[in-house]
Structures are given as structure tokens and as C-alpha cells.
Amino acid sequence: MNIVVMDAHSVDHGDVSFDELTKSGICTFYERTPAHLVYERSKDVQIILTNKVVFDRATIYSLNHLSYIGVLATGYNNVDINAAIERGIVVTNVPAYSTQSVAQLVFGFILELNMKINHHNRMVHEGKWSVSKDFCFWDYPLGELDGKVLGIIGFGRIGQAVARIAQAFGMKIIAYRKPKTGIEKSSVEFMPLKEIFERSDIVTLHCPLTNETRGMVNKEILGLMKKEAFIINTSRGPVVNENDLALALNEETISGAGLDVLSTEPPDPKNPLLTAKNCIITPHIGWATTASRQRLIDTAVKNVKAFIAGTPLNVVTV
């Protein structure tokens, strides 16, 4: 069985292991695969693992030996699922591997926006505390989370993990769209989207990118927020209208934002959020803790082994 990992560097920076995969067949690892090399590297392969390398309809129909694509992510929009179904190719994904890591980053943003830890650290190293007339020094309003309202847009696994952490800080949780099963509902109040934005001190986005959610956070919805409120996005960049958010930040319609995703990644240097006021941006790292990436690989390998055994797991071509 020939197995190829098309973009291993996207998940492995030398700190996680694909060793178990090598027990399942003859493995070839490419750090990255540009579009013009996808066919050449895939043409004789039965099993392909990919994170972001695109397998469109034409590519899938050109690969006569291909029987399985394992997506090294939860989202699988880089694979033409309909073409795979037509060809009888099994496609799997890896759900829920990054839940705790993303929730952790959400609170990294929330704590930084409320306490300005990095800013005050910089002030100390620049000597501002040393020349202070008092035993303490701060030059930015500091916020306390206890009693604040956290609005969660999308109450799946990650939204629920964020809610549990928020409750430990004494926050009140309101959320948009009640899931059908599997949550503790008693301490969460569900309400319409606009009311979430009106009432929340912090809004955090955990919704998928769909036709309904694309551009959902726009000038109108941002105008409903409290002037002191913050918005966090660790879901998908295009959920936010970036021009509208930059304007809201620069005009101080809202107080700040924490973003791990943008509409284009890597971003255009002219993206207005790169120069917006009080906008913290990280380079799509919420999923990328070592523990999270090893869980991703471990599940992907289980998916491969299950496929070879004839009992595939986490199949999305259904």
C-alpha cells in the first residue's frame, strides 16, 4: 500500500510523530506540495493524507489508483466530496482534536484584552514602573471577568469548552443556537443573534463558514455591541466583514478584538485589521499546540488503519 502525506510540515514541525503511519504501508512525506506537483506525487498512490492541498474534481478523476483521502483537519472543503463519491473514493476527516487548544486561545485573547499583560510587561521593561511614584503602575483600564456576559456564537464542542472555562471565571453565558444533544443546558441561556451582540461584554465566534454565516459580523451587528465590548474570532475569517470590523475598532464603536483567523491566510499586507486599533491577531495557531497536533495525527492514522481493515472511521463521503 502506497501512502503519501502531501503537506506534512503543516502539522509536523519535528515535535510530533508519524511513526505509526509507517507501519501501514510504504510512506512518502512531502513538506509541502504546490499545485503543479499534486498529480505527479499522487498518480501511483492508493492512500493520500492532506491538510490543505486541494483535490478538485479534475485531480480526483485523474488518479486511477486512488482509493482513500485522509484530511488532516476537521474541515474538508479542499476535497471535492461529490467527485470522490462518484469515484468510490473514501474521504475521512479528524473531528474534535483541537477543542481544548482553541478554547485555551480564546481565553488567552480574553485575558490579554482585559489585563493588557503584554503591554504592561513592555512598559516595565521600558522603565515606566521604575520611575513610578507608587508601588504599582498601569496606564490602561483593567477588566474583571467575574459577572461579565460572554456571548457564544456556535455552541458545539469548542463553544461548550469555552463556556466551561468562562463559568470558572464567574461569567454569565448566553449563546446562539441550542445544539440538539450532548450539552449541559441549565446554566446557558439561548437567544437570538442580535440580542447576543446587544447584551454581551465579549462575543466569541465558533460557527462554521456557511452561506448564512459569511460576513455575518458586519457594520450593523457590530453597531449593536456595547462600546466597552470585545469580539473574538477563532472560527473562520470570512465570518467577519474585515472592513467593517476595522472601522468599528478605529471609531471605537467597540473596544477591541482578538483574531486567530482572517479571510485570506497568510493575510494581504493591506488587510485593514493589521493596523486597526486594539486588534490582537495571531497566525491561525489555535489548533497548533503540540498535544493537539499529535491527537490529529493519531486519529488520522487510526482512520487509515480502519480503512485498510475495511471498517472506515470518520467518513465524510456519505
pLDDT digits (tens, 9 = 90+) for 18-31: 999 999 999 999 99
Kindly state whether residue 316 falls inside one of the protein's structural domains.
no
> What is the pTM assigned to this prediction?
0.91
The catalytic residue among 157, 236, 293, 295 is 236
User: Based on the domain organization, do 132 and 197 belong to the same domain?
Assistant: yes
Q: Is the dihedral of CA 59, 12, 294, 108 positive or negative?
A: negative
Tell me which DSSP letter residue 75 carries: -
Closest CA to 99 of 156, 59, 24: 156
User: Based on the domain organization, do 86 and 178 belong to the same domain?
Assistant: no
Residue 256: all three cell numbers together:
477591541
Asked if 120 is an active-site residue, the reply is no
Asked if 125 is an active-site residue, the reply is no
CATH of the domain at 79: 3.40.50.720
User: Based on the domain organization, do 105 and 171 belong to the same domain?
Assistant: yes
Count of domains for the chain: 2
Kindly state whether residue 318 falls inside one of the protein's structural domains.
no
User: Based on the domain organization, do 277 and 151 belong to the same domain?
Assistant: yes
User: What is the structure's pLDDT at 184?
Assistant: 56
User: Based on the domain organization, do 147 and 257 belong to the same domain?
Assistant: yes
pLDDT band, residue 187 (cuts 50/70/90):
confident
User: Based on the domain organization, do 22 and 81 belong to the same domain?
Assistant: yes
Containing domain of residue 153, as a range? 99-281
User: Based on the domain organization, do 151 and 22 belong to the same domain?
Assistant: no
Residues 10 and 42: their CA atoms lie apart, in Å, by 18
User: Based on the domain organization, do 259 and 127 belong to the same domain?
Assistant: yes
User: Based on the domain organization, do 52 and 93 belong to the same domain?
Assistant: yes
Asked if 236 is an active-site residue, the reply is yes
What percent of the chain shows pLDDT beyond 70? 97
User: Based on the domain organization, do 195 and 266 belong to the same domain?
Assistant: yes
The catalytic residue among 144, 220, 252, 265 is 265
User: Based on the domain organization, do 61 and 156 belong to the same domain?
Assistant: no
The answer to whether the beta carbons of residues 265 and 243 sit under 8 Å apart is no
pLDDT band, residue 180 (cuts 50/70/90):
low
The region that residue 29 occupies, defined by phi over 0 for left and psi between -120 and 50 for alpha, beta otherwise, is beta
E strands, the chain, are: 2-5, 26-29, 47-50, 68-71, 90-92, 149-153, 172-176, 188-190, 202-205, 230-233, 256-259, 279-281
pLDDT digits (tens, 9 = 90+) for 63-93: 999 999 999 999 899 999 999 999 999 999 9
Q: How many helices (H) and strands (E) does the chain have?
A: 10, 12
In whole angstroms, what separates CA 214 from the centre of its chain?
15
Residue 20: all three cell numbers together:
505509526
